[in-house]
Every structure is written in structure tokens, then in C-alpha cells.
Structure 1
Amino acid sequence: MLEEKDVFRKVLFLQFNLLASDSIAINRTLPDIRRIQCRAYAEKLPPINKLPDTSIIIVFHNEAFSTLARTITSVINRSPHSLLREIILVDDFSNRKFLGAELELFLQTLPIRIKLIRAKERVGLIRARLMGAQEAVGNVLTFLDSHCECTRGWLEPLLARIREERKAVVCPIIDVINDQTFAYQKGIELFRGGFNWNMQFRWYAVPSDMAKQRHQKDPTAAIVSPTMAGGLFSIDKQFFQELGAYDPDMDIWGGENLEMSFRVWQCGGVIEILPCSHVGHVFRHASPHDFPKEKSSGKILNSNLARVSEVWMDQWRHFFYKISPQASALIPSLDVSERIELRKKLNCKNFNWYLQNVWKDNFLPNGRSALIGRFRHLSSNSCLFGRPSNPGKRHRLTMGTCSLGFDIWQFWVVSSSKESEGVRLMSDEHQCLSAAKEQTDNNIWRIQLRECGGHKGGFLETSLERGQYAKIFASRQTQFFKFLRRAKRQKDAKTQRQNVMAHSPVRVGQCFIRFLGRSEI
């Protein structure tokens, strides 16, 4: 029997409750959580013998035996065997003994062809998936993580859609397997993928008008998604190869999902989430795996994202570099010439097309204004901070010492909306500076950070005189806001600071915005 310290060590190592996982059968029964309409949808799919077959590719590194075995078993038990050309397991240099001979013995008992590939050194998720794809013989490649559970009817919708449109990259609804109890929880359907200013993948709710239209017409229809999470998806093998597979110079993991998302869309494909396909996934609060000793996770991620930006984001990459100077610093060490040539060869569209046609409601600042900097109070010489509060709380607005270098909490963006609406002052992709009345006294106004929704207090009037370097902002509800950008361009920075003049007295004092630089978008 395991001692308490051994149990704790294993739970910490895997970042989920190993005891809970080990106590659950590897072939446990899962409920059919699809919409009722999905059962009628399934009956309309082409016959199984008309669907393309698939190679399932699962990469693992020191995965728990029970979660890996449950992933494989769920694929076999809930997929038509005629559609499973093979299951390819790629071992990314695991050192756990039970993933050696014990795993091989387990695989021999399974009714489906299993191909086990073992890397001779740690190569990371991206290159391990490339290893699996190179060995695959199925018409479709289906990538899964090593801690998943497939539900009934998960595979057929994915393959049917690719049969219909070979350039469709399709994803299931990702349900949640609780990392402590391993209870299976239905995922939220009306979400799609995007990314924040830091180039991190994020889920965002489908726009209300789109959700309403789906509800009225066909709730089983595919959800078009600007990006994909990247862990679970199917793609036509030939299309995967035509597109350039994965970028082999991206290291370990991180950013590869955005890179492929941009490439798919800009080079003629589509990304869709299919509501009638459900796969569960264990979401952990932290990654349990270390990076190779000579590599830091931060440098790897920044390098990967810099590659994505340099190849696919055109002038918008400069905005990302303002947010992430660490990524910008790595550009001289990168060689992206082959990927740029690939983009030219495929005659791919530009990133502006992607924003205007694929993710119309994106959070990137509008290129007409795209001013980036910090707000400094003239009389106190302090700067405006938008620091995060406790989890679930609003960001706190405070004044503090102006930092000399880059400080994300002093970072503000002026983003124009429709000409008639004015501009927004944004602290991140969804928080805007706003004027709002106190609940207890309508005569008192407060500056606060609020979601960048449709409330009018977030829109600011702006005026820019010809030939000057001055910009004035005022709230449409009150003159509570007035932020003055320096009046004229002058060579001497000290003289610039001394010559900044207050526009007029306002309740918060005059501020000007000291810009880190005009964005090149």
C-alpha cells in the first residue's frame, strides 16, 4: 500500500488526482451527452463505408498509465473499427517504468492495430506529432491528447465533414474531465477559439446574433472558429502535408495551435467545431512536465510565438512585440525563411484579411489610431496602473511611480471603434477605461475598468489638430476624463516634459500619454 508521501508525490508529479484515476475502470461507461438533435443528425450521415478512415495519433510523455489506457480504450470502444486504420502512440522519451514493457503488453491485448514509436530523446509535442504523422497511413489524421475520453458517436461527424470538405480542419466539443474527481462534465457548445494580446489561446462566447441564428435554424451546424485549441482535431492527411504540416523549428509546445490556425485560414482552409462530436479532456491547473534542462519554458514559448508573428501576422506583429518585448528580442536568432517561402508558395492571404473576414469581432486595436503608451498625471508625476485584484474581482485602478521600462500594468492602448463612437482606452483585450456614476450618488463619477461592451461610458471623444502631436479625450457622459497628449514634437525629451501644459482643470487632474511608440498597424 502506498504511503501518504508517495501518493502526494505522484499527485504533484501529474497535477491531477492519480488515486481517483486509478480507481476508475479504463473502460468506464460515459453518458451520451449530445443534443437530442444530434441523434437525428447522425442518421443523416453517409454510411460508414463511405467515410474516410483515420490514423489516431496520441503523443505522451510520462503520462499516468490509467489515463493513457483509458484514452486508448475509449477510442476503440466508441469508434467503428472499420474507420480506425491504426492508433499511433508516440512516446516522447518517457522514463516511467510502467510505460515500458507493461505498456507494450497492454497494447498486445487490444483488437486494433497499435503502432508504438519511441523518441530517442525529448523532442516535444510538436516534433513528436510530426513523427506520428510521417508514419500514418490513414486518409485522415486525428490528433488526441493522452488524457482524453471519447464519447459515443464522436468520430463519424469529424470524418463526414472532411469527406464533404477536404480543407476543413474539424474539432470536437471539448468536455471537462475533473482533475480531482474525474467526473465527466459536458462542455459549453457556444464557444469558439480566439487569442488575447499576449498571443495565448482563449475561448470566447459566440456572438449573440450568431447564437440566436443557430438556435433558430440548426443547433447541430458547425461552429466556425478563428483558432483551435490544438489538442484534439482531425485533418485530411494530404491537406496537412500540402499546408506544411507543423513548423518543425517550433520547439516542445506552445503557439503551434495558433500557427496552424492562421495558416489554415489564410491558405484556403476552414476551422470548425462540430457540436455533435464530444471528447472529454483532463484540464490541469499547471503542466506537470519539465522542459529540457538547457531550455527555459519562457524562452521556448516566446521563440515559438515570434515565429508565428513573423510569418503570419504581417504589420500586426509589431503590436504583439509591444506587449511581449521578450519575444521581439529573439527575432535576430530566428530563421523563418522557409516558412515565409511556404506562405508565398501557397498564395496565402494576409493577416488583415483574417481579421476582417474570419474574426470580425477581434480585440486588436483598430489600425486607424493604435496608440500605445502610459498615462502620467502632470502635477504628481505619477502613472495610472490597472493592476489585477484577487481572482474574480475587478482590476484596481491606482496611481503610482512611473516605471522606466516596459510595465504591462501601465500599458494602455487607444483603439478607435466606429467613427461615430469615438475611441476606447484599453488595458487589455477586454478591459476598457470607463466613466460610471456611483450607485449611491449619481452626481459622483468614477473612473473604472469595465468589460469593453456596448456601454456608452467606455467611448471617448477625441480631437487631433492638424500638424500637432496632441490628442484630447473626454467622456461622452461627463468631462470627467480629459487626457492630453503632448502638444508638439520636440527633440529634447526633458524640454518635452516641461512644456506639457494642462488643458483645463478636471477632477482627476490633467494627464498626458507618454507613448512607447505608434504601432505600425
Structure 2
Amino acid sequence: MAKSRTDSRWVRRCLLCWLGPLLFVGLAPSLLGKAQEDEFGALGLLLMPLLGLTAASLLGMACSLAGCPFHLVLLIQVPAQVLIFFYASHDASHATLPSPPLRGGQGAVVPAVQPAQKLHPPALADANFKPSGQWDQSNFLQKTKTTIPQTMSVVLPCLNEPYAAKTVMSFCNRTPSEVLEEIIVVDDASVPPMEEKLKDIPSHCNLKVLRHKESLGLMIAKQTGGDAAKGTYIGFYDCHVAPAVGWHKETIEMLSKKERRLVVPMIGDLDMDKWDEKVHGALTAKCYINFNADFWWYDDESDFIPVISGGLVATTRKWWQDSGGFDPGMRGWGGENTDQSLRAWLCGGDILRAKSSRIAHMWRVDSDPRTLSKFKLHHHTDNLARVAAIWFGEFKDKFRDGTLDPSLNVTAATRRIQDLQCKPFVHFLHRFRTLYRGGGVLPDKVFHLQLKGTDQCMTKLSKGLGLAKCTAKTTHFHLANMLPHGFPHPDDFDSPQSESGHQVVCGGHSAASCALCPQGHGQEYCHMDCRWLFGNCVPREAASHAPLAPELRFSGLRLWNSIECLDRLDASGPILYFCDITGHNLNQQYIFDRRGVLHHGSGKCVTVDSANHIVAGACEGASQWEKIEMFVPAETTRYLESVKRAGLTDDMPDG
């Protein structure tokens, strides 16, 4: 009986000893996770096997002290030690190592595309990657603190492009190898194939060529390249550009801060001979659209961009995949830039320019045959109409005077909008209200311009502006373009251009009035008490300092439902050109004085000659114009109502 009680006691003591290693094994995953969080490095990898050995060794010591029979100690300790070591090692090797990043692999190609043709197999980013999927642990121990690489896939859509090789080599030479994931040239059925022109590209450029069987257009080519890209970020660029050294840095920095983002570089002029940016050339990046989905350039101090110009933009691969890229119904070219931009702004993203990321671009110039396109497309859709049908919502009746085809099938695109929970178009207009309201795209008043004392109105003809009988079809105008600093007030032109009865100081001389200061020398003799304004020397403290009514806070004259404004005033009258919405273009600065005389910044006025032609002439005795049949346009009324209905306020971001 005593022996039985003694046996039960040492059995219980032995069982308690054996419980210790089991606890270590149960805690293995959490202890291992803690090791990774604390960045133990190599110790984190070996922690569990060491703990298993320690536990098994303590088991043997404890069992001996507890008086367990020696044969039981061997029977338990040896198998337990082997099992614990195997379990802990197996757990560590499978639970702690991340999957290796795959670089340079081939991606799936859309059905319309032939299988990817890789001219030179790119080197693997990490020599530790094994085809079997196993990892070289010896080298991995040295990389436990390495972050996931932020790589860029450069996508170049090309069709019969003579400068593809130069463009590829520019990106290859000016992008660090650790950043350049790949250069993907999408050959949109060029003749001969682009592969022949790119056969000498070195293998370290990581070039891939994907070829379409037939030419499907720019956005389909971009879609093919974007879908095949493997980089963290995807840069879409034209096949005739040259990036500057360091072009990628700010672009990647901006993209790393927000997933749903597009980044546009500063776009410069390309020197065709040097294949580099022209010295002292112009730089641009920003565009906007009107209600016809036409886009044009502008610039201001904000780095936010309403609409990208088209061919030069980068985004995250995640956003490319989530957003779906472009409207799948588009063919040809044009419109994809607006579609992509509105998807960003209305679906939770934004668009920024990277001021230090510079890429020189070859512009199409009729006078330089080297720049002319070498292709014709056989597949083309009305992509701007598709943009309006997809995105304009309650404003789409403004598109081309209400001629949008209601049968246009945009079901796939609108379904994607619903999936992304995108906002209505008014949110885009309100986000850039300084531009759309302050620049006059959403005008306060629209009117006809009637030649005073006649039934004739200014209207757009096949060439320039002329006169026609005032009817509902006569061209409507409205004030537009922002008001730059120093722009005159209508009352500035009411001062009599004669002696005022007191002397004024005009720089190095005096005169009886500002009007007499120039003495035939023009602006250089108009200083001190006077200032040069619209070709006139006027008092410096003139009425221009009086506050302007909101409807007068514009510097130009725009054709309604158009992207054109009155530009340079020639002898044959004003020419028409794309509106400079910021108001800084002196050619587009026009103002009505209180009498209805239309002054131009050159000092001349818009008048009518004896042959009833609109011409430039002296302001003294110039024709007078009346704004007739003024009304608030429907788009402005709708905008104000939609803003109120959506709860949008003036303290929200603008511009």
C-alpha cells in the first residue's frame, strides 16, 4: 500500500516535469512573432530550436531531481527532445521567412495580344530566389531588416515609332538598376515589328516587348503594358521622350505616400539632336477641361492637377489594378487622360505634379518632319463622348450643346464607378472652384455682343470674328480668365486725357497730367505719379483700387461652350486661341470701359471699319458694344444647386 502511494507521487511529479516542454511548444508561435517584431535577426530564426533544446534538457534535470526512474527519463526525454527540436525548427522555417519578391517574370497578356516576347531575359533582382521556391537562408540572415523594394515599371506604347530605342536607352541609363523593374514596350502592331528596332538593347535594361496583332490605339496599348507591369509603381510615358537624371525620385516619393494617386512630371521641350531637355525651354504639367471634355494647359502655384495631359504619368500598381485602368470601350487615342483623371479625383485619389521630376517630350510640329506621326489608326471611338457619358452625370447635357448620344454603351465603366463608390461630377468642379468659377468656365452671365445702334452682333465665322444679324444662333460670350494683379478698372478709362490743372512727376520730368507724360516715348516716360496701363499713362492712384463687383473680376472674353478666347488684336481684328485661364497672357487681356469700348492690353481697341469688318483701331472714337440678352447659364445654376445639395462648403480644399 505504501509502495502504491509512493509510485503515484513520483508519477505526478514526473508528469508535472513533462508539462514544461509542452508549454514551450504551445507558446512557440507567439514567441516567434515577438522575435520578429523586435528584429532579433539571426536569433529570431534560431530562437525556437534553442528553446526546444533548453526545455528538453531541463526536463531531464527536473525528472532526475524528482526521483523519476532512469529508464522513464530516457524513454521520455530522448523522444521529446527530438520532437521538440523538429517542431520548433519546422515552425521557424515556415512561419518566419517572407515570400521572395518576383522580378522580371512574365505577366499574363490580354487575349488581343500575342504572348510576351522578351528580347533579353532580365536578371533576377535577388540571386537567392530559387525556381523551386526555396530560399537561401544563409544570405537571408543578412537581410532581415531590408524593406520591400520600391520599383518602377516604365511602360512605353509605340506604333511605328522611330525613336523607341533612344527613349528606352534614356530610361535605362538614367534610372538606377535597383529602381528600374522593367521597361515594357507595347508594340501596337508596328510595321516592321518594334522588336527589330530594339534588338541591340542591353540585357541589363530589363526590356520586354509585348506586341498587338492589330493596332488598337494608345489606351489599349497602355492597358496592355499596365496590366503586365510588375513594379511597385507604373510610369506611362510616350515613346519619344528623354527623362532627366533623378527623374524618378520625387515621383516615387509622392506615390509612396498615397496609393490612389497619379503623379505628373514637369514636361520639358526635347532637343531632337541631343535627345535631352532643351536649355531654358518651357516646362508644363497642368491641364483642365471644359464641358466638351476638351483639355488645355494652364499653370498656377498649386501642385494639384485637375487633368493630366495624357502620355506622361505614374501611379501605383495597386491603384492601377483596383481602378481597372481605362474605360474598356475606348479605341484610338484621346480622352483616356480625362477618364483616368476623373477616376482619380472622384474615386478617392488625387493628382500631383513632381517639380523635380523632369521629362523632355517631343512635340508634333508641322514644320519639323522628324516629329510627324508615322501611322494611321483604323479603330477609333468618340472617346470624349464616352468621358461625358461616364463622368458628367447631371452636367452631361452640356456636352456639345446637348448632342450626346444616349445609346452610348458605357455599362462596364459605370459599373466600375459604383464598385469604387465614386462621387458625382460636382465634387470635381467644386474641388477646383477657383479655376471653374474664378476663371469663368462656370460663367456668371452669358450675353451677345451687339454693335451699339445696329442689329449686328459679333460672332465667330469660319475665319476669326465678324458681324452678323443678332439671333439666338449668334455666338454667345462671357467674361473669363482670372484677374491678374494691376489689371485696370473700367473707370480707369474715364479720366480726361488732357491737362488736369496740376503737375505730376513722370520719372525725370514733370507734366501737366499723366496723359502728357509720355511725350511720344510711350511706357518708358510714364513713372512715379503715373503708371502705364493698356497703352495709356494714367494716375497711379486711379480707380483700379476700388473693389470690383464679382461679375467684373475677369480679364478676358471667352466664347461660351468653347475653350477659345479673344487673343492677340491684329489689324484684322482679334484672333481666337485657347484660353489662358489664369489671366497672365497679355494677348488675352480685354476690358470694357463704361461707354462699352472694348480695350486691349496693347492700347488699341476693337472697332468696326467702314466695310463693316471688325478691326483694331485707335480707342478715341472706337466702336461701342452692348451686352444684350444676358442670362445665367444652366450649368452655373445647376452647379450652385448641386453644391448645396451635396453639402459642399468653401472651407474644403480648392485648387
TM-score interval (norm. to shorter)? 0.5 to 0.7
Pick from 380, 386, 394 the counterpart of residue 315 of structure 1. Answer: 394
Paired residue type of 2:362: V
Per the alignment, residue 277 of structure 1 pairs with: 357
Alpha-carbon offset, residue 71 of structure 1: 0.8
Paired residue type of 1:344: Q
Pick from 156, 159, 172 the counterpart of residue 249 of structure 2. Answer: 156
Provide the rounded CA distance (Å) in 2 between the counterparts of 1:206 and 1:48.
40
Per the alignment, residue 535 of structure 2 pairs with: none
1:242 maps onto 2:322 in alignment? yes
Per the alignment, residue 232 of structure 1 pairs with: 312
Matches within 5 A, 1:97-246: 99-100=194-195, 102-103=196-197, 105-107=199-201, 109-178=202-271, 184-185=277-278, 188=282, 192-196=286-290, 198-207=292-301, 223-246=303-326
Provide the rounded CA distance (Å) in 2 between the counterparts of 1:177 and 1:416.
30
Report 1 or 2 for greater relative contact order, CA contacts < 8 Å, sequence distance ≥ 6: 1
Alpha-carbon offset, residue 90 of structure 1: 0.7
Per the alignment, residue 431 of structure 1 pairs with: 565
Provide the rounded CA distance (Å) in 2 between the counterparts of 1:294 and 1:80.
38
Alpha-carbon offset, residue 270 of structure 1: 1.2
Alpha-carbon offset, residue 365 of structure 1: 4.6
SS in structure 2 of the partner of residue 360 of structure 1:
helix
SS in structure 1 of the partner of residue 427 of structure 2:
helix
Paired residue type of 2:357: S
Per the alignment, residue 84 of structure 1 pairs with: 180
Provide the rounded CA distance (Å) in 2 between the counterparts of 1:105 and 1:447.
53
Paired residue type of 2:322: E
Q: Provide Cα deviations, 1:41-80, integer angstroms capped at 9, x if missing partner.
A: xxxxxx996651122111100011xx21111111111111
Provide the rounded CA distance (Å) in 2 between the counterparts of 1:413 and 1:59.
40
Q: CA separation of 1:243/1:419 partners in 2, compared to 1, >3 Å: closer, same or farther?
A: farther
Provide the rounded CA distance (Å) in 2 between the counterparts of 1:422 and 1:511.
13
Alpha-carbon offset, residue 397 of structure 1: 5.0
Pick from 475, 478, 482 the counterpart of residue 594 of structure 2. Answer: 478
Contact 1:375 1:514 in 2 (8 A): no
Per the alignment, residue 417 of structure 2 pairs with: 343
Provide the rounded CA distance (Å) in 2 between the counterparts of 1:57 and 1:156.
17
Give structure 1 stretches of 5+ with no counterpart.
1-46, 211-222, 390-395, 437-445, 460-474, 483-505
Q: CA separation of 1:93/1:239 partners in 2, compared to 1, >3 Å: closer, same or farther?
A: same
Provide the rounded CA distance (Å) in 2 between the counterparts of 1:419 and 1:339.
44
SS in structure 2 of the partner of residue 174 of structure 1:
strand
Contact 1:173 1:274 in 2 (8 A): yes
SS in structure 1 of the partner of residue 418 of structure 2:
helix
TM-score, length of structure 1 as denominator length: 0.63
Contact 2:596 2:626 in 1 (8 A): no
Q: Provide Cα deviations, 1:423-457, integer angstroms capped at 9, x if missing partner.
A: 67632557379xx9xxxxxxxxx9999977499x9
Contact 2:456 2:468 in 1 (8 A): yes
Provide the rounded CA distance (Å) in 2 between the counterparts of 1:176 and 1:105.
28
Alpha-carbon offset, residue 421 of structure 1: 2.5
Per the alignment, residue 113 of structure 2 pairs with: none
Q: CA separation of 1:366/1:272 partners in 2, compared to 1, >3 Å: closer, same or farther?
A: closer
Contact 2:269 2:282 in 1 (8 A): no
Q: CA separation of 1:340/1:93 partners in 2, compared to 1, >3 Å: closer, same or farther?
A: same
Tell which structure's C-alpha radius of gyration is larger. Answer: 2
Contact 2:448 2:477 in 1 (8 A): yes
Per the alignment, residue 393 of structure 1 pairs with: none
Pick from 398, 417, 420 the counterpart of residue 549 of structure 2. Answer: 420
Alpha-carbon offset, residue 191 of structure 1: 5.3
Contact 1:369 1:416 in 2 (8 A): no
Contact 1:197 1:429 in 2 (8 A): no
Q: Provide Cα deviations, 1:174-216, integer angstroms capped at 9, x if missing partner.
A: 1211457856315545752223565333221214xx5xxxxxx
Alpha-carbon offset, residue 346 of structure 1: 1.7
SS in structure 1 of the partner of residue 236 of structure 2:
strand
Provide the rounded CA distance (Å) in 1 between the counterparts of 2:242 and 2:625.
58
1:266 maps onto 2:266 in alignment? no
SS in structure 2 of the partner of residue 82 of structure 1:
coil
Alpha-carbon offset, residue 232 of structure 1: 1.5
Pick from 60, 65, 78 the counterpart of residue 158 of structure 2. Answer: 60
Q: CA separation of 1:123/1:284 partners in 2, compared to 1, >3 Å: closer, same or farther?
A: same
SS in structure 2 of the partner of residue 203 of structure 1:
strand
Paired residue type of 1:308: V
SS in structure 2 of the partner of residue 316 of structure 1:
helix
Contact 1:368 1:416 in 2 (8 A): no
Alpha-carbon offset, residue 263 of structure 1: 1.1
Q: Provide Cα deviations, 1:358-396, integer angstroms capped at 9, x if missing partner.
A: 45223675768564x75566975433125698xxxxxx6
Paired residue type of 2:270: I
Q: CA separation of 1:516/1:83 partners in 2, compared to 1, >3 Å: closer, same or farther?
A: same
Q: CA separation of 1:72/1:104 partners in 2, compared to 1, >3 Å: closer, same or farther?
A: closer
Q: How many residues in Structure 1 have an aligned counterpart in Structure 2?
A: 385
Per the alignment, residue 463 of structure 1 pairs with: none
Alpha-carbon offset, residue 415 of structure 1: 7.5
Provide the rounded CA distance (Å) in 2 between the counterparts of 1:379 and 1:243.
58
Provide the rounded CA distance (Å) in 2 between the counterparts of 1:142 and 1:241.
14
Per the alignment, residue 189 of structure 2 pairs with: 93
Q: CA separation of 1:164/1:334 partners in 2, compared to 1, >3 Å: closer, same or farther?
A: same
Matches within 5 A, 1:366-515: 369=444, 371=446, 374-375=448-449, 381-386=455-460, 398-400=466-468, 410-413=475-478, 420-422=549-551, 426-427=558-559, 428-429=562-563, 431=565, 453=583, 477-480=593-596, 508=624, 512-513=628-629
Q: CA separation of 1:317/1:178 partners in 2, compared to 1, >3 Å: closer, same or farther?
A: farther
**Cα RMSD after superposing both structures:** 4.1
Alpha-carbon offset, residue 228 of structure 1: 1.2
SS in structure 2 of the partner of residue 81 of structure 1:
coil
Q: CA separation of 1:48/1:170 partners in 2, compared to 1, >3 Å: closer, same or farther?
A: farther
Alpha-carbon offset, residue 104 of structure 1: 5.0
Provide the rounded CA distance (Å) in 1 between the counterparts of 2:270 and 2:625.
51
Alpha-carbon offset, residue 319 of structure 1: 2.9
Q: CA separation of 1:397/1:133 partners in 2, compared to 1, >3 Å: closer, same or farther?
A: closer
